[in-house]
Each structure stands twice: as structure tokens, then as C-alpha cells.
Amino acid sequence: MRRLEHIFVRANGWALILILGAMPLIVGANIALRYLTGHSLSWADEAARYLMIWMTFVGAGLALRMGAHVAITNLQDALPGPGQKMLRGAIVLGLLIFFGFMVSVGIEYAERMQYQMTPALRLPFVYVYAAMPVGFALLILHLMLVAPQFITAGTFKGAAAPESDPAVREGANG
């Protein structure tokens, strides 16, 4: 199971790297072409905008995994140990419900936009709006993977936790 988690986190990270890498390449090529030839790519700004949307949703789960989202812990810190665990469990449950709701809303939006085309790329908007349900589904998966440790200890796994886990190293070596 830990090995699958490791593969999932690495794949999510590589998707984010590819998206982030494509954005400056497209924008840089557009700038270079504009100044060198006087012509620019008509679709570059649109592609960079849609890649940024995808990057936001694909990266949200990794940020959640590392505890990088904004958190106010005043109430949690004021509670005794068992109360803190109950509050963190309620937070996880609330997030799961919210993320599941957003997956369904995202699917509905994507379905509604499937016949409209983007102005420059001429892609169906379903590909842009699909970032929302995909991103929230990734958030659900990441939350489910970090929830036990978060509820019991109030900590997050961090980006390197699966690699530093002895069970993962043994699974990779054996």
C-alpha cells in the first residue's frame, strides 16, 4: 500500500512539473517569436492560462499533503488531546464531504461546457473544466492518505515521507 502511495505521489508531482515546465516554454516561445519575427502564437496566452488552472487543481492535493494550505489552529490548540483528535476528525470529514460535492459540481460544469470551444485553441471547454473534478478527486485521495496521521498526531506526511518510510525502502529494495 505504501508503495502505491509513493507511486501516486510521484506521478502527481511529475504531472505538476510537466505542467509547470510547459507554461514558461509556451510563453517564452511566444515572446521570442514576437520579438524575432514580429508574429506571435495566437494560442499561447490561452494555453498558459489553462495550464495554470490545471496546475492549481493538480497541485492542491500535494499542498494538502504537506500541510501547506492556510490553517488556523487556535481552537485546536485550546482543546485537550482527545478534543483535538475529535476536531481534526470532524475537519477531515467536512473536507471529504466538501471535496466530494466539488467533484460532482465540477463534473456538472464540465458536461455543460462540452460543446463550447475555446477561442484560440479550439478545444472543447470540457478539457478546461475537467481540472476541477480531477483536482478535487486528487484532493480526496491525498486527504484519505494523510488523514490517519493528521487525526491522531496533528501532523502531515510531507512530500518526502513515503520515501523516508522504512517499509517503502524495503519494498523498493526487496
pLDDT, residue 94, reads 97
Residue-wise pLDDT for 56-67, tens only, equals 999 999 999 988
pLDDT-based confidence at 169, cuts 50/70/90?
very low
Q: Give the chain's mean pLDDT.
A: 90
How many domains, the chain? 1
Encode burial over 98-116: b for 16+ CB neighbours within 10 A, e otherwise: ebeebbeebbebbeebeee
- Name which of 89, 24, 65 is nearest 161 in CA terms: 65
| 158 has pLDDT over 70 | no
> Residue for cell digits 471535496?
99
Is the pLDDT reported for residue 137 higher than 60? yes
- Residue 119: enclosing H or E segment and its boundaries? none
Determine the structural domain holding residue 33 and report its residue range: 2-164
Q: Domain for residue 114, yes or no?
A: yes
124: which strand partners?
117
For residue 172, is it within any domain? Answer: no
**Would you state the pLDDT for residue 170?**
44
Whether 169 is covered by a domain: the verdict is no
